[in-house]
Chains A and B, each alone.
Chain A
Amino acid sequence: MTFKKAVGATDHLANAWRPGLQALRANDRNHVSAEDTRRLKGSVDIDGALQAQHPHANRWDFAIGYRHSNRQQDCIYWLEIHTANDEETEVVLRKLAWLQQWLASEGRPLKDFECDFIWVSSGSTSFTLTAPQVKRFAELGLQQRGRVLRIRDKR
């Protein structure tokens, strides 16, 4: 199944799919750089689309589909754009926990895609690659990628 079809098959996301990075606001698009934009398979504003159903949840921001040149299936980049410092760590981890639970329930059609959970900073970051905090995120499946998610042609 393609990313687009899976989005269409997901409760409350039927009309949420947008081509390219159009689900992201102009400012947010600066946080994503795809090596081959033709390989982008659309995007979804998860936060906005699920606001009515999960008004008090720590909702995740976006999902971006991409077909890498060395993959037969679409991959999903689950993207959170958020201040990257120690104070905000727990907020982002709560969002990640919410996303995992959502994927295990309503979001099930999107669960089995090869994916990365990415946190990019909306401003400067106080994490270095060698920071123990970044190791902790990795153990939880979360990648802290600085300010910009760079999607390479080959995964």
Chain B
Amino acid sequence: MPRMTSRPTRNSNAAHRQREKRYNRNDGCGTDGPPTGEGRMAEKVAHLENMTTLKMKNLGQIKEANLTFGDLTVLVGPQATGKSIALQLLKLMVDAGQVQEEMGRHGLDWDQKLPEFLDIYFGEGMRSIWREGSTSIEWEGNPVDLPQMARRRRPNKEETLFFIPAQRVLALRDGWPRPFTDYAPGDPFAVREFSENLRVLVEQEFGPSGDLFPQQRRLKRELRDLLQKHVFSNFHLKVDKFRSQKRLVLGAEEAKEALPYMVWSAGQREFVPLLLGFYWLMPPTRTPTRGRIKWVVLEELEMGLHPRAIGVVLLLVFELVARGYRVCLSTHSPQVLDAAWALKHLKANGAGPEALLDIFEAQNTQSMQKLADTVMEKLVKVFYFDRETGTTNDISDLDPTAEQEGASGWGGLAEFSGRANRAVARAAATGQPELFK
């Protein structure tokens, strides 16, 4: 009985690759040539050093969560399993001073009490996530005293984590970003701050009129082309005025008539705040990142978008990762895990950057190759928030053959497909498949 064996994998450090090139330097400034044994060791050490841990016990729906963040971290799991709480907590861990400063600056006062602080930061009613005596948090291996954090103001520092919340569609009203104080006191801090950042971006970095998209100095040409094709069609995103009120509109390049916010498609309404978020993170300067921002949280990038548009957003996420940001996503889209799975296997098989670009139907230009090449070297972590146990599982292997159903079904994202496959196969096995007629 002949048995095929698995095709031997090529050396993941194939000599023709130039993976040591630093993405954010001009060509020629980076370290050219294949990684040496020493280089590979340094790479591994760098990955380990880059790992950051957050542990939570008895926080909201979470009984116990252990997260180790990579360069790109993906959280999956059913609704209300604590993904958003974990991501907002991450923001608090890295930006406590900035959060307190922002809240104070906009007239929010929590009387140095933790319940009030939680209601302001996570949103109204969220004080219940903290259970005195049983809730505990550990950041980078050190216990965190959240009640003390609420009592004592941390020294202010610049923002290091940019949070793009799932509720980002609320950031625009009548086509213009809402200021922080436009929200109710019980609205989550992440939504209000994101909205405020967009307002600053639109008011300070763009002229009183003209195109916000496409813009030559914003995003790579190849990414702009894909966005034009899969999100905006032939429309441009512009600033115009309606009875002296500035607003964002969509309009064809030559057309006089513009489409106001209320007639945009649901996907466009979801995407425009996201695009502005990407603009914020990718300033049109030689510096690849903004200010001191090191982290990006992006909740549910897929909202309202067709899978082709999701593909483009994933490329934009890769661009953030390649620029050096550490990106954390939460998602309900199997496409995101397909991409993470492909990254892992392409890397393991020593595939070139063109293989990754091919998945996204992206142009195989030098610039995009450099982007893909950089991303393929990054560490990707995937965690599943399990509703049944209230715990998190590291499913970074994304092994479709894993013993645990949560792992093989990719945290529930592929389980439905699996059941559909089985039902159809059983029906077909007893029916008359075309092949055998």
List the interface of chain A (C-beta within 8 A of B): 47-48, 59, 61, 81-83, 85, 87-88, 93, 96-97, 100-101, 114-117, 121-130, 134-135, 137-144, 146-148
Contacts and interface: CB of A to CB of B under 8 A. Distances in A.
A138 B341 CA distance: 22
B345 interface: yes
Nearest to B402: A146
Main secondary structure of the interface of B (DSSP, over half): helix
A140 B433 contact: yes
A137 B425 contact: yes
Nearest to A94: B435
B4 A116 contact: no
B88 to A, nearest CB: 30
A84 to B, nearest CB: 9
Nearest to B433: A140
A123 B429 CA distance: 25
Interface of B: 1, 3-7, 334, 338, 341, 345, 400-403, 408-410, 414-415, 417-418, 420-422, 424-426, 428-431, 433-436
User: Which 3 A-B pairs have CB atoms at the shortest separation, nearest pair first?
Assistant: A123-B6, A146-B401, A141-B429
B408 A135 contact: no
Given A83-B6, A130-B338, A141 B428 contact: yes
Given A123-B6, A146-B408, A130 B428 contact: no
Contacts of B418: 129
A123 B6 CA distance: 5
A146 B402 CA distance: 8
Q: From A100, A115, A139, name the one whose CB has the most chain B CB atoms within 10 angstroms.
A: A139
Main secondary structure of the interface of A (DSSP, over half): mixed
Contact of A138 (B3, B403, B425): B425
B1 A48 contact: yes
A122 B1 CA distance: 13
A97 B426 CA distance: 16
B265 to A, nearest CB: 25
A61 B408 CA distance: 25
A134 B428 CA distance: 13
B334 A130 contact: yes
Contacts of A121: 401
A116 B426 contact: yes
A125 B433 contact: no
30 contacts: A61-B1, A81-B3, A82-B4, A85-B7, A96-B435, A114-B430, A116-B425, A122-B3, A122-B4, A122-B5, A123-B5, A123-B6, A125-B400, A125-B401, A127-B400, A129-B418, A129-B421, A130-B338, A130-B414, A130-B417, A137-B421, A137-B425, A138-B425, A139-B424, A139-B428, A139-B433, A140-B425, A140-B428, A141-B425, A141-B426
A64 to B, nearest CB: 15
A116 B423 CA distance: 10
Contact of B435 (A83, A97, A122, A126): A97
